[in-house]
Amino acid sequence: MEQAFELVIFAPEKGGELHQGVKSCLNGHHTVQLVLVEHFEQLETLTQTPKQRVVLYSSEQYHAGLPLIERVRGAFPELPLIYYAPAPADHLAEDPVSLGISEFLPKPHSYSTLTHRLLAHFRHHAATTDAPAFALSGESEAPHQGVSMEFSVSHLIKQINSGLILVEVAESVVITAFNPACERLFGIQEQRVVGRELKDIFPELCQKELIHSIRQVWQERSRLSLPPVQHEMQPQSKWLHVELFSYTPQLVGILVSDITQLKLDEERITTQMQARIQQQEETEKQLRETIREVDKGQRLSNLIMQVTSLSLAKHPIEYILQRALEMLLELPEFNVLPKGAIFLKPAEERQLNMIASLGLQESAIWTRCQQIPFGLCLCGRLAESDQDMMVTTESLLSVGHDVQFEGMEPHGHVHVKMVGREGVQLGIITLYLRHSYSPSMQELDMLRTIANTLSGVVERDHAEKAAESAAVAKQEFLANIGHELRTPLHNIMSFTERGLKKLKQGEVEKDRLLRYFGNVQKGGERLLLLLNDLLDLSKLEAGRMQFNLRDYDFNTLVDDVCEEFSQQFQNKSLTVKCGHSLAEGKVSIDPVRMLQVLRNIFSNAVKFTPEGGKIEVVIEEVVMAGGRRKSDPESVNGIRLTITDSGIGIPEEELETVFDKFAQSSRSKTGAGGTGLGLAICREIMTAHVGTIHAERVDGAGARLIVELPRERISSEKGEEGEESSSA
């Protein structure tokens, strides 16, 4: 005999309408008996018969129905009771547990939803007691099969490992079954979800068009597998695989599988694969970069080797630098315009001379930048700065591009110095950049390497030219010294021979013999002077010249030299202004060696000044740079001696070389004579005094020799150890 389940509608007001609505939804459900009671006494009578029953208590006001709930609970504590009433106005409904009820359902609910909720309580009540299994509405269309068929379907649903949700599709999608696997998966009991709309229980899932897919399956009586979806849960979210299928004409089944671990494994494998791919790409990138670096290094090495080969082949420096510039601009590592120039700095000059260029012949730069003084344009500014490189991305006057011309297009520059081993500036390489382009550090480093290579080439060229000049100077010196030695020796031999001949012949003429021997003496003195110069030069080169420094009146020293040369001044009718304005003339010098310097300077002035010319001697106070020791002051008081003549002057290009050993000015080659040692000796003596000597060209005609001396002893570059009065 089929066990009946009793659903009691306890409704003191409007119970008939509620009874009819629920009854229509239970149509065909053979295991449920529906009973309507309106009074508590009727409920008492009804409960005297033992049955599996659930009570739905309906009230029109939430708080008004609470006292009757307490009464029912006091009389029937084990009876499942569902409270169906409007939600309180303050939205603060008591917890069902505190009221002693199974569930509170706020009005209004659709009769279908309400019925499903009631059936869920029947199912839960049956599962927690010894009552037979409670069948779901619609599970069987054959009434004669009864409970056995209903039990088998219900048992099957409970036993499957995947989560299963059955939903009824009508105006809304309502949950009708929620198996134990779903309870474990979502952590929700079946009785709390059955009869409720799916979107209220799983709003996040329904936002992803789940409802639309359910209706599609229901209408088409089909199956549909949805993409994996991430569902936020506590303590952590889960990845779910959802599959929909048509269960009955009214119901759709939702199979839910937890694929979180699969997803995590997939993500882990994906992450590992991505890491391996990234590592492989990084390895390939490093390999490509290594290959590029090797190629770049090879091209740079080839350029350096070619430039070095050109320098060894004795090509002119102009040709070597031109070829180097062409090869430099062909390197793919340099993202530059096909334009550039190489400038060299002449020794002792503050200007740059364009030696090589490319792509500039048709522009005004070619004519206007052949010579660039220090401080003019970008390369001139770099030349007078302490920087080794300058980069600009604009061609505006505001950034130092002083040379402007019509048709000039925007561009930038990169300039790099060529510096010798001793820190001597040799020149500048200038390349043209595209507008607003900034070269990379690799480009700049390569350019520095090339500049260092060219610096070595330029230094080699300077050394070769210096060696050639030294060889020429030495040859000229030997020729001059041979002439200078031969002339007095010839006179000595000639007059000695004449004197001896007269004596042998017995012709003794005192005056003639005196003249002969006087000429012999003069020749000997001239030879002695030449030999002394040679000895002095030898000592200076060997560092064995002795200097005995003491305080001496420089005014007196100059007066003595002027007096010594007074006869020579008269012989050539020279106008000499020889005066001084030093209030205190004492200075720390070796008077013998300083007298040697002054005699040489005066001798040159007389030698190269024509008859009737002028010589001017001026002494004045001056402030000089201090010594090299840390204890020396930054500046010291000194004196300056300036001797200006109106002679033939010194060519501009020889103002420095006239002080070189074995060198002579071209004006000495006009017949004025000399060994070319005098000024070289003077510079060495001045250096030992921590002083200076240099030459200047006078406008019009003439030369100016300038000597500067500190008044007190200070250290020189060679005097770091503190030499006091001599150098050995």
SS3 letters across 29-78: CCCEEEEEECCHHHHHHHCCCCCEEEEEEECCCCHHHHHHHHHHHHHCCC
H/E segment holding residue 290: helix 260-312
Q: 217: pLDDT confidence band, cut at 50, 70 and 90?
A: very high
- Contact predicate 644/704, CB 8 Å: yes
Query: What domains appear along the chain, each with residue ranges and CATH number?
Result: 1-154 (3.40.50.2300), 160-258 (3.30.450.20), 301-455 (3.30.450.40), 546-710 (3.30.565.10)
| Mean pLDDT calculated for residue range 566-581 | 85
pLDDT of residue 497 exceeding 60: yes
- Contact predicate 165/257, CB 8 Å: no
C-alpha separations of 332 from 76, 178, 325, 338, 339 in Å: 97, 72, 14, 11, 14
pLDDT of residue 18 exceeding 70: yes
Q: In 3-state terms, what secondary structure has residue 219?
A: helix
Higher-confidence residue: 641 or 207? 641
Query: Residue-wise over 227-262: b if at least 16 C-beta within 10 A, else e?
Result: eebebeeeeeebbbbbebebbeeebbbbbbbbbbee
pLDDT of residue 719 exceeding 60: no
Residue 673, C-beta contacts closer than 8 angstroms, at least 6 positions apart: 480, 484, 607
Higher-confidence residue: 622 or 676? 622
Torsional class of 224: left (φ above 0), alpha (ψ -120 to 50), beta (otherwise): beta
Query: Residue-wise over 436-457: b if at least 16 C-beta within 10 A, else e?
Result: eeebeeebeebbeebbebbbbb
DSSP letter for each residue of 356-403: EEES-TTSHHHHHTSEEETTSHHHHHHHTSS-SEEEES---GGGT---
Q: How many angstroms separate the CA atoms of 668 and 493, rounded?
A: 27
Is the whole-model pTM more than 0.75?
A: no
**CA of residue 297 relative to chain centroid, distance:** 22
DSSP letter for each residue of 548-609: --EEEEHHHHHHHHHHHTHHHHHHTT-EEEE----S--EEEE-HHHHHHHHHHHHHHHHHHS
**Across the chain, what does the average pLDDT equal?**
79
Query: What is the reported pLDDT for 720?
Result: 41
DSSP letter for each residue of 396-432: -GGGT-----TTPPP-EEEEEEEE-TTS-EEEEEEEE
User: Token digits for 203?
Assistant: 């709003």
Percentage above 90 pLDDT, the chain: 11
DSSP letter for each residue of 633-680: -SEEEEEEEEEEE-SS---GGGTTGGGSTT---GGGGGTT---S-HHH
pLDDT of residue 575 exceeding 70: yes
Query: What is the reported pLDDT for 726?
Result: 42
Q: Which of 141-155, 562-576, 662-676 has the highest mean pLDDT?
A: 562-576
Q: Which of 148-162, 520-534, 678-692 has the highest mean pLDDT?
A: 678-692
pLDDT of residue 592 exceeding 60: yes
Percentage above 70 pLDDT, the chain: 82
pLDDT of residue 133 exceeding 70: no
pLDDT of residue 126 exceeding 90: no
Query: What is the reported pLDDT for 618?
Result: 92
H/E segment holding residue 530: helix 510-542
Query: What is the reported pLDDT for 146?
Result: 38
H/E segment holding residue 484: helix 441-504
Q: How many angstroms separate the CA atoms of 439 and 420, rounded?
A: 25
**pLDDT by residue (tens digit) across 232-281?**
877 778 888 899 999 888 889 999 988 888 888 888 898 999 998 988 88
Q: Are strands 238-246 and 229-231 parallel, antiparallel or unpaired?
A: antiparallel
Q: Which of 28-42, 75-89, 279-293, 637-651 has the highest mean pLDDT?
A: 637-651
- Contact predicate 600/529, CB 8 Å: no
C-alpha separations of 151 from 130, 147, 178 in Å: 14, 6, 16
255 strand-pairing partners: 164, 243
Sheet containing strand 692-697, edge to edge, reads 575-578, 614-625, 635-645, 703-710, 692-697
pLDDT of residue 634 exceeding 60: yes
Query: What is the reported pLDDT for 130?
Result: 55
Higher-confidence residue: 323 or 110? 323
Q: 94: pLDDT confidence band, cut at 50, 70 and 90?
A: low
| Mean pLDDT calculated for residue range 493-505 | 78
Higher-confidence residue: 719 or 123? 123
Query: What is the reported pLDDT for 606?
Result: 92
Q: How many angstroms separate the CA atoms of 444 and 518, rounded?
A: 74
| Mean pLDDT calculated for residue range 691-710 | 90
Query: What is the reported pLDDT for 613?
Result: 92
Higher-confidence residue: 529 or 612? 612
Residue 578, C-beta contacts closer than 8 angstroms, at least 6 positions apart: 558, 559, 562, 615, 617
pLDDT of residue 123 exceeding 80: no
pLDDT of residue 397 exceeding 50: no
C-alpha separations of 248 from 167, 219, 222, 245, 407 in Å: 10, 11, 11, 9, 87
Q: 4: pLDDT confidence band, cut at 50, 70 and 90?
A: low
Query: What is the reported pLDDT for 1?
Result: 40
- Contact predicate 237/267, CB 8 Å: no
H/E segment holding residue 167: strand 163-169
**CA of residue 152 relative to chain centroid, distance:** 76
- Contact predicate 85/65, CB 8 Å: yes
Q: In 3-state terms, what secondary structure has residue 620?
A: strand
C-alpha neighbours within 13 Å on the C-beta side of residue 271: 6
* Helices 441-504 and 510-542, axial angle in degrees (round to 10): 160
Query: What is the reported pLDDT for 177?
Result: 85
Listed residue (649, 560, 655, 656) closest to 609, CA to CA: 649
| Mean pLDDT calculated for residue range 35-40 | 87
Query: What is the reported pLDDT for 151?
Result: 43
Q: 598: pLDDT confidence band, cut at 50, 70 and 90?
A: very high
- Contact predicate 295/301, CB 8 Å: no
Listed residue (663, 659, 635, 665) closest to 647, CA to CA: 665
pLDDT of residue 141 exceeding 50: no
- Contact predicate 141/229, CB 8 Å: no
| Mean pLDDT calculated for residue range 624-632 | 66
| Mean pLDDT calculated for residue range 339-366 | 82
| Mean pLDDT calculated for residue range 140-150 | 39
